[in-house]
């Protein structure tokens, strides 16, 4: 098995107009986005309106592009939705699916997330499947059970290193400045890999990202934990210097 190359993924969420994207991407490329500057893979996931624009801005750089969601169907009467093939056509190679904000704001179930992941893969995108426990589940000591259930329900059994990334994002750590302890992150990631192995038969090559309040000051210690193969970064990905510092913290 080839070593897992770390992935630092930026989720811009519903932020950014064209001018913001030009500045953010320009600064990022200048800092760490030229080929060979950092060892990890760099990914940005702008809002759907900017995917095409950002594809142009990233041309010739080492930074790749993703969408934040896709519909489970390839096309059809789904007003306001975007298919995986449309993302691919606009220049994306990744799609986040099942982010907790989608699961909460849009009531997405594990089954719907699974269908979206399959649609992304069918269109030739790498699906970044997000899972993670709520604060109540964390406090009740249910984290590992929740993760096992979400993996069984929302990760395709056909998942391979080339088609799938799994992001562990405790819901209570997203945008709050709070994170689990390093031991808790390591335990969750080990558990995810074990559950993925049960589901797919071979999980050693699948990259597992930690997400939830990753910033320059905590990135190095988190990225060195066993089974952590990168980070999904929200707030700090909107600041080129912070995102670049996280990228430089990759071991
Ligand atoms: C996210 O939304 O995926 C995320 C991890 O956000 P933040 O880094 O702001 O906690």
Asked whether residue 184 is domain-assigned, the answer is yes
CB 50 within 8 A of CB 16: yes
> Does ligand 1 come within 6 angstroms of the Cβ of 67?
no
CB 187 within 8 A of CB 226: no
> Does ligand 1 come within 6 angstroms of the Cβ of 169?
yes
The Å distance, Cα 76 to ligand 1 centre, comes to: 31
Question: What residue ranges of the chain have pLDDT lower than 70?
Answer: 1-2
Asked whether residue 208 is domain-assigned, the answer is yes
> E strands along 106-195, which residues?
126-131, 164-168
Asked whether residue 50 is domain-assigned, the answer is yes
The Å distance, Cα 77 to ligand 1 centre, comes to: 31
The Å distance, Cα 51 to ligand 1 centre, comes to: 19
Residues forming the active site: 99, 169
> Does ligand 1 come within 6 angstroms of the Cβ of 28?
no
Asked whether residue 5 is domain-assigned, the answer is no
Asked whether residue 2 is domain-assigned, the answer is no
3-class secondary structure, 94 = strand
Residues 6+ apart with CB under 8 A from 137: 143, 146
C-alpha 88/C-alpha 75 separation (Å) is 13
Asked whether residue 80 is domain-assigned, the answer is yes
Asked whether residue 1 is domain-assigned, the answer is no
Q: What is the pLDDT of residue 1?
A: 56
pTM score: 0.98
**Residue from 46, 98, 232, 237 whose mutation best tests the ligand 1 pocket (most atoms within 8 A of CB):** 232
Q: What is the pLDDT of residue 48?
A: 98
The Å distance, Cα 245 to ligand 1 centre, comes to: 16
- For ligand 1, atom 6: residue with the closest CA: 234
CATH number of residue 96's parent domain: 3.20.20.70
* Separation in Å, CA 198 to CA 156, 159, 191, 229, 232: 12, 12, 11, 19, 24
Q: 199 lies in which domain range?
A: 14-58+65-248
Count: domains in the chain: 1
Asked whether residue 51 is domain-assigned, the answer is yes
C-alpha 164/C-alpha 126 separation (Å) is 5
């Amino acid at each position: 098995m080839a070593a897992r190359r770390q992935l630092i993924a930026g989720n811009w969420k519903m932020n950014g107009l064209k001018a913001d994207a030009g500045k953010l991407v320009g600064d990022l490329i200048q800092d760490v986005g030229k080929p060979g500057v950092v060892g990890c893979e760099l990914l940005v996931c702008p809002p759907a309106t900017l995917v095409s624009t950002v594809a142009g801005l990233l041309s010739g750089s080492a930074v790749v592009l993703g969408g934040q969601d896709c519909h489970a169907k390839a096309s059809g009467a789904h007003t306001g939705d975007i298919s995986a093939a449309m993302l691919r056509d606009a220049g994306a190679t990744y799609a986040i699916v099942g982010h907790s904000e989608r699961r909460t704001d849009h009531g997405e179930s594990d089954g719907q997330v699974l269908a979206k992941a399959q649609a992304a893969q069918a269109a030739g995108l790498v699906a970044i499947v997000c899972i993670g426990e709520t604060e109540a589940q964390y406090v009740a000591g249910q984290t590992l059970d929740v993760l096992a259930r979400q993996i069984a329900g929302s990760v395709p059994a056909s998942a391979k290193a080339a088609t799938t990334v799994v992001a562990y994002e405790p819901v209570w750590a997203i945008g709050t400045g709070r994170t689990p302890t390093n031991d808790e992150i390591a335990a969750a990631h080990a558990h995810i890999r074990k559950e993925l192995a049960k589901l797919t038969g071979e999980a050693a090559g699948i990259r597992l990202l930690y997400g939830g309040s990753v910033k320059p000051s905590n990135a190095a210690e988190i990225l060195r934990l066993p089974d952590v193969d990168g980070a999904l970064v929200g707030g700090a990905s909107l600041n080129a210097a912070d995102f670049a510092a996280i990228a430089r913290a990759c071991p």
